[in-house]
């Protein structure tokens, strides 16, 4: 990769890591489900005018919107509101790699390579250590909510694999738009209209800034830059930079929020990052992605499939 493109990849990973700190800040002003709905509303409304109609079947837009937009982010925001630190959330959420490989093996008949299995084992060991370390002085329920968010992310990745969106930006904008109403409905049921109205009445510049950062900087700008890299290089060259996301998340959580980073958590975090890195090792013929249950693809179609799948898997929104 050219130096400027490496700089862009590092910038995007940093934005996505800092995004967890911004979520934590925004949760001071909004109930979590309502906050998640507002971020998707702010991301989708300006972009819908430019992306045109969805370019995949509506069933896949809805499936990814429910699993990624509603379940993954809803659980993440609720878990962070319940006490899960921003930096630790950025790391634990990456256990989605484990669940993605597992669901792909069961639902898509994609056999994981030995190095992937070994990496998953190392990453799982790190997550278990973090769970024990975190659970000593904090509610384990918050930790489990973020893990469930990672499970939902794994399902979303498999749905995206089936959808094969030819235009990832168009796809993610429509996913964001469809996620708004279910999240608003869940917020009204579980958080109550009074809490949502109170948040709007007490709206501060901090809250507005958090929504706009997550919607425009993390989602639209970050996604756009990442997609630019995926159009220029193979996914195997770009996706490993996503391993910097939890590093940036934990560092920014420590610097900006004063979150505690223990030696145990650092060691466990290293296990998770190393394990995830192993799952990105490119196997023979990996660039020739095949349809689920079908024949192999090649050329630009294969690259587009790998690219669009990798964007969602690496935490682009």
What pLDDT shows up at residue 49? Answer: 83
Say yes or no to pLDDT of 301 above 60.
Answer: no
| Structural contact between residues 279 and 209, judged by C-beta atoms closer than 8 angstroms | no
User: What is the residue extent of each domain of the chain?
Assistant: 3-313
Residue with tokens 């979590």: 32
pLDDT tens sequence across 250-288: 889 999 999 887 788 788 888 888 887 777 666 554 444
Choice among 15-29, 39-53, 66-80 with the minimum mean pLDDT:
39-53
Report the share of the chain in percent with pLDDT over 70. 86
In angstroms, the CA 183 to CA 32 distance is: 10
| Structural contact between residues 73 and 150, judged by C-beta atoms closer than 8 angstroms | no
- The mean pLDDT of 104-122, rounded to a whole number, is 82
Q: How confident is the model at residue 295 (pLDDT cuts 50, 70, 90)?
A: very low
| Structural contact between residues 285 and 197, judged by C-beta atoms closer than 8 angstroms | no
Which range of 49-53, 121-125, 179-183, 259-263 scores highest in mean pLDDT? It is 179-183
What pLDDT shows up at residue 119? Answer: 81
In angstroms, the CA 36 to CA 21 distance is: 14
Choice among 63-77, 125-139, 280-294 with the minimum mean pLDDT:
280-294
| Structural contact between residues 33 and 163, judged by C-beta atoms closer than 8 angstroms | no
How far the first Cα of the chain sits from its last, in Å, is 23
Choice among 141-145, 251-255, 304-308 with the minimum mean pLDDT:
304-308
């Amino acid at each position: 990769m050219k130096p400027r493109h490496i700089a862009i990849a590092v910038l995007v990973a940093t934005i996505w890591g800092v995004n967890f700190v911004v979520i934590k800040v925004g949760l001071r002003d909004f109930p979590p489900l309502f906050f998640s709905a507002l971020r998707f509303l702010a991301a989708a409304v300006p972009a819908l005018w430019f992306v045109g109609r969805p370019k995949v079947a509506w069933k896949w837009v809805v499936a990814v919107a429910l699993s990624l937009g509603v379940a993954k982010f809803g659980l993440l925001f609720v878990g962070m509101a319940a006490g899960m630190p921003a930096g630790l959330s950025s790391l634990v959420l990456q256990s989605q790699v484990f669940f993605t490989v597992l669901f792909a093996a069961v639902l898509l008949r994609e056999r994981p390579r030995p190095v992937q299995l070994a990496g998953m084992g190392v990453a799982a060991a790190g997550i278990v250590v973090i769970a024990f370390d975190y659970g000593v002085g904090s509610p384990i329920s918050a930790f489990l909510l973020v893990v469930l968010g990672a499970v939902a992310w794994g399902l979303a990745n498999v749905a995206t694999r089936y959808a094969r969106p030819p235009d990832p930006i168009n796809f993610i904008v429509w996913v964001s738009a469809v996620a708004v109403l279910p999240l608003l409905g869940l917020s009204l049921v579980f958080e109550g209209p009074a809490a949502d109205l109170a948040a709007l009445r007490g709206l501060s510049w901090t809250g507005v800034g958090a929504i706009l950062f997550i919607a425009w900087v993390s989602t639209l700008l970050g996604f756009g830059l990442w997609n630019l890299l995926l159009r220029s290089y193979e996914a195997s060259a770009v996706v490993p930079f996503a391993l910097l996301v939890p590093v940036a998340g934990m560092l920014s959580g420590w610097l900006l929020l004063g979150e505690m980073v223990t030696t145990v958590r650092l060691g466990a975090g290293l296990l998770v990052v190393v394990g995830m890195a192993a799952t990105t090792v490119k196997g023979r013929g990996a660039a020739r992605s095949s349809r689920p249950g079908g024949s192999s693809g090649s050329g630009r179609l294969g690259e587009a499939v790998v690219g669009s799948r990798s964007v969602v898997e690496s935490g682009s929104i």
